[in-house]
Structure 1
Amino acid sequence: MPIRRRRPLTAVLAGLILSGTALPGWARTLDYVGTYVWSGSEASFGGFSGIEISPDGTGFHALTDRAQLYWGSIERDSQGLIRAMNSAGRAHLKDSKGVPLPPGYTGDSEGLAIGDDGAIWISFEGLDRVALYDNPDATARALQPPPRLPGMRLNSGLEALAIRDGTLYAVPERTGDENQPFPILTFRDNTWGEAGEIRRDPRWLAVGGDFGPDGWFYLLERDFRGILGFASRIRRMRLTEAGPRDEEILLTTRPLQYDNLEGISVWHDGQGIRLTMISDDNFLLVQRTELVEYRLRD
């Protein structure tokens, strides 16, 4: 067998740099941590579209798309893998008059963000709006409705919701055209504004968002491929006064690799940035509620 000489590593690197080829895996690594399948016996269990994990990774709030909010504790082993989700409570969200929201047009809750003060922000599609709750059992505070955006319709409203320094950021699920960027809406002092646009790639829809402890904005996207199932993608970027900067794709999954991932929470586990995602099983027996976790090491 002939011996093939290998090009020196320095020569390979020099060639890549001169050609402008990116080296995404050399500056950081994204490690798969684990998947936990969560189940519950209540009729309201399922359809999870949003999740918030406590800074130490031991607590959670999880939002269904039928106006139900669960919360509780997370048991982890010595490696940080989820071993149990212990539900401590559940609340049926109310409207501004104190009436429990029915599933459907007025109760299609999608985005979840929790402020440093503990206030709970939830976005709804159908009747597009954002509601603020002092606690899960509280009556919703009436807020200024968001502006109507191209592409927003009955099942495509504000899905990605995140909060930073008291300002709420919201990204709609889709835009008017596959090549039209996602607008970034902001909400502060009961006033809506904009913070630039995020490039949209055809087929990919925005379904979840969060700010990490590193200050970056993480966007979870989904692509439904019919009988082939769901594919997911995570992008991160810096949101500056001049708009998004330094955007990079961290993860793109294969169809059927995971279920319908819709919610994302970003926190630090002591070793790196932990990305926790939750799936929407659409209340179907053929789907399941998964919590999927990755760790990003810069």
Structure 2
Amino acid sequence: MLKILFSAAILLMGGLGFTETALFGRFVIHTDGGRIGGLSAVHIGDDGSTIIAVSDRGMLMQGTISRDAEGQISGIAMGTPVSIENADLPGGLTNNDSEGIAVAPDGTIYVSFEGQHRVGKFANFGAAEQTLPVPREFEALQDNSSLEALAIDADGALYTIPERSGRYDRPFPVYRYKDGKWDQPYAIPRTGAYLMVGADFGPDGMLYVLERDFSGFGFYTRVRRLDLDAATAETILETGIGVHGNMEGISVWQTADSQVIMTLIADNNFRSILTNEIAEYRIDG
């Protein structure tokens, strides 16, 4: 079985082409007295006016986004966070360390967890969790560094990626849930000290992966765009230290005039020196 997984894996190498990515706007979601924080994943609705976020303390929250005439965020009204409920698991941060989010067109919400390594399905916002089958491969993942990124493709297949691969020279495995079964059809090369923290499929059908590095003094942010069919990858964003905070979530969507926007969200770790920052980039090419 292991040999089949390795032979089926595709190592995504550097691609060709040129993409221009320009900062479009920034906004900070207020903590509301500490009620809102630890935002580790984000989903922006197709029209850019709705937001669903997940906190790494087992909370889901949704809100409404206001935008100005140019489309930049002018305000965000967040609703009351809702606790993730799973009657089959004991409570606590370890089991409900929620890190990734993917939302299907019918409103079904999927969340990945790095405490109790799993992916949960929620029929709608506020529904109880239905845990998807847990493959044996998840049991070997590192504690506090497992299923950080989660995305859903146009056909409804789920893709999840652990934060760490286990070694600097080992690619990140990409696990896929399709037709009721898990497999590992892809692997993403690990370059530099970056860790995997988020993923989303864009309107172009390509997989955008968000990666983060921390120097001890500040954060670096990188986004790679992957064409899984062609087995290519292109770095479309790489910032210097401190340009952004602890970016952990990514959502790629399209405006009414077909402009592709990449929304990133930061985890403030519930610390006053960090913010719930949102940064949006226009992607051309």
- TM-score normalised by L of structure 1: 0.85
1:168 lines up with 2:158 in the alignment: yes
CA contact (8 A) 1:151 1:175 kept: no
Counterpart CA distance in 2 for 1:211 and 1:258 is: 22
From 264, 275, 278, the equivalent of 1:291 is 278
Q: In the TM superposition, what whole-angstrom CA distance separates every residue of 1:211-257 from its partner, at most 9, and x where no partner exists?
A: 0001010000000111x2110100001122xxx62210001011111
Answering whether residue 272 of structure 2 is matched by residue 281 of structure 1, we say: no
Question: 2:207 corresponds to which residue?
Answer: 217
Aligned residue pair count: 269
CA shift, 1:188, in A, is 2.3
Match of 2:259 among 252, 266, 272: 272
Tell me, in whole angstroms, the C-alpha distance in 1 between the residues paired with 2:209 and 2:169.
17
Contact 1:221–1:234, Cα closer than 8 Å, also in 2 = yes
Quote how far apart the aligned CAs of 1:23 are.
8.4
Q: Which protein has the larger Cα radius of gyration, Structure 1 or Structure 2?
A: 1
Aligned mates of 2:221, 2:152 — CA distance in 1: 22
Partner AA of 1:143 in structure 2 = L
C-alpha distance in structure 2 between counterparts of 1:46 and 1:146, whole Å = 31
Corresponding residue number in structure 1 for 2:238? 252
The 1:137–1:149 alpha-carbon spacing in structure 2 relative to 1, beyond 3 Å, is: closer
Structure 1 position 133 matched with structure 2 position 119:
no
Distance in 2 (alpha carbons) for counterparts of 1:189 and 1:114: 17
Q: Which amino acid in 2 is paired with 1:80?
A: G
1:29 Cα offset (Å): 1.6
The alpha-carbon deviation at position 37 of structure 1 amounts to: 1.1
Q: What are the within-5 Å matches in structure 2 for residues 100-249 of structure 1?
A: 101-102=91-92, 104-148=93-137, 152-164=141-153, 165-226=155-216, 228-240=217-229, 245-249=231-235
Q: CA deviation at 1:139?
A: 1.4
Residue 54 of structure 1 aligns to which amino acid in structure 2? G
Q: Is the 8 A contact 1:186 1:194 kept in 2?
A: yes
**Structure 2 CA distance, aligned partners of 1:37 and 1:143?**
34
The residue type equivalent to 2:59 in the other structure is: Q
Are the counterparts in 1 of residues 261 and 281 from structure 2 also a CA contact under 8 Å? yes
Q: Residues 31 and 276 of structure 2 are in contact (CA less than 8 Å); yes or no, is this contact kept in structure 1?
A: no
Report the CA distance between 1:140 and its aligned residue: 1.0
Could you list the per-position Cα deviations for residues 98-132 of structure 1 after superposition, in whole angstroms to 9, with x for gaps in the alignment?
x8943x21110001001112111001112111110
Structure 2 residue 85 is the aligned partner of structure 1 residue 94: yes
Question: Relative contact order: is structure 1 or structure 2 higher (C-alpha 8 Å, sep ≥ 6)?
Answer: 2
Partner of 1:59: 50
CA RMSD across the alignment: 1.9
Match of 1:78 in 2: 69
Secondary structure in 1 matching 2:130: coil
Matched-pair contact (CA < 8 Å) for 2:118–2:131: no
Distance in 1 (alpha carbons) for counterparts of 2:138 and 2:108: 26
Q: Which runs of 5+ in 2 are unaligned?
A: 1-14
Secondary structure of 1:145's counterpart equals coil
- TM-score by length of structure 2 reads 0.89
Secondary structure at the aligned position of 2:81 is classed as: strand
Contact 1:158 1:173 in 2 (8 A): yes
More divergent stretch after superposition (141-150 vs 209-218): 141-150
Structure 1 window deviating more from structure 2 (143-152 vs 278-287): it is 143-152
Change over 3 Å in CA distance of 1:201–1:149 after alignment to 2? farther
Aligned residue identity for 1:295:
R
Shift of 1:61: 0.1
Question: Could you list the runs of 5+ residues in structure 1 that have no partner in the other structure?
Answer: 1-21
1:151·1:177 contact (CA, 8 Å) conserved in 2?
no
Letter of the structure 1 residue corresponding to residue 82 of structure 2: A
Whole-angstrom distance in 1 between the partners of 2:165 and 2:16? 31
